[in-house]
Amino acid sequence: MNILIQQIRLKKIERLKLLIFLSIIIAGLVILLTVENMLLSFLLAFVLKYTLSPLINYSERQGVKRSHATLLVFILFFTIISAVIYWALPYISVQLKAFHAELPRYIEGTRSLIFDIESKVEEIINTSVEFNLSAQAENLMLTWTKSVFEDLPNFLSKSLTTLLLAPFFAYFLLKDSQTISKKLLDLVPNSFFELVLSLQHQINEQMGQFIRARLLEASIVGLIVWAGLSIIDFPYSHLLALFAALTNLIPYIGPIIGAIPAIIIAMINGAGLLAVIGIYAFAQLIDMLFIIPLVVAKIVDLHPITVVISIIIGAQLMGVVGMLVSIPAASMIKVTIQSVYHHLINFRA
C-alpha cells in the first residue's frame, strides 16, 4: 500500500513538474511576442551568445572562471566593435549625406528606366498596355525614402532600447547559461528528461554553428563587394557593401536584393554596369563555391521547398526579421519533430 501511495505521489509530482516547465516556456514565448522590443532584443542576444560562446568556453577550459571569461570576452568584443564603428562611421555618414542629396536624381532615373522598359514591352507586343509601373515605382520610392530619412531619428531612439537590452541579456545568458539550463531541466519529468536534454543539446549546437556560419558568410560577401566597388571608385561603396552583407543573410532572394541598388545606380550614371555586375557575381560565386560548401552546408539540413515556404511564412508574420529567423526556426521544428518521433518509437518498443 505504501509503495502504491508513493507511486501515485511521484506521478503527481511528475505532472506538476511538467506543468510548471510548460508554463515557463509558454510564458516566455508570450512575453517575447507581446512586449515591445523584447523579441528583437533576445534574438540579438542569442546571436551574441552563439558568436562569443566558443571563446568563453575555450577560456573556461584553460582554467579561467566563467564569469571572468565572459567579462573579458565582452570587453574585447565591444572594444573591437567600437573601433570598427569609429573607423567606418565617418565614411558611412558622408556617403549617406551624399546619397540623400542625390536621391531625387536617382528616383527620377529609376522612373525613366522603368518607363523605357514599359515602352519596349509595348513595342514588342505591338499594343498599348497601361502598366504605369514607372509612376507606381516613383511613388513607392518617394514614400519609402521619406519614411527612412524622416523617421530615422525616431527609429534610432527606439533601437537604443534594443541595443542596450541585447548585450545585457547576452551577458547573463553566457555567464549563467549552464545554471539556467540545469534549473529548467530539473523541472522536466524523468520520462521526458532524455528527450529534452537531447533536444537542448542538438538545437544549441545547430543554432550556434548556423549563426556563426551565416555571420561569417555575410561578412566575407560584404568585404568582397566593398573591395570591388572601392577599386572601381564606385559611389557609396561602404553603404552598398553593408547593404549587401545584411541582405545576404536572407536565403536565395537576399543576394539579388543586395545587388539591385548598385545596378540601378550604375545604369543611371551610365558607367560601370558590367563591372558592378561582375563584382556581385564574383562575391556570390565565392559564396556558392567555397563559403557555403565549406562553412554553411549541412548545418541546417532543409529541403529548398521547405526553405522557401519558411521564408514566405516568416515574411508574412514578422517582415524582414521573420525572413531572417525563418530558417533556424524551421530547423528547430524539424529537429524537435524528429526527436519526439524517435522518442515515441523507442518508448513503444
Calpha distance 72→57 (Å, rounded): 12
Which of 145-154, 186-195, 245-254 tops mean pLDDT? Answer: 245-254
pLDDT at 343 over 90: no
Q: What is the pLDDT of residue 72?
A: 92
DSSP 268-282: HHTS-HHHHHHHHHH
**Average pLDDT of 311-320?**
77
Q: Which amino acid is at 125?
A: I
Q: Is 172:45 a contact under the CB 8 Å cutoff?
A: no
Question: Which residue ranges make up each domain of the chain?
Answer: 36-187, 191-349
Q: What is the pLDDT of residue 131?
A: 55
Q: What is the pLDDT of residue 122?
A: 66
Phi/psi-derived region of residue 35, left when phi > 0, alpha when psi is between -120 and 50, beta in every other case: beta
Per-residue pLDDT tens digits for 158-175: 566 677 788 888 888 888
Q: What is the pLDDT of residue 232?
A: 92
Confidence of residue 139 (pLDDT cuts 50, 70, 90): low
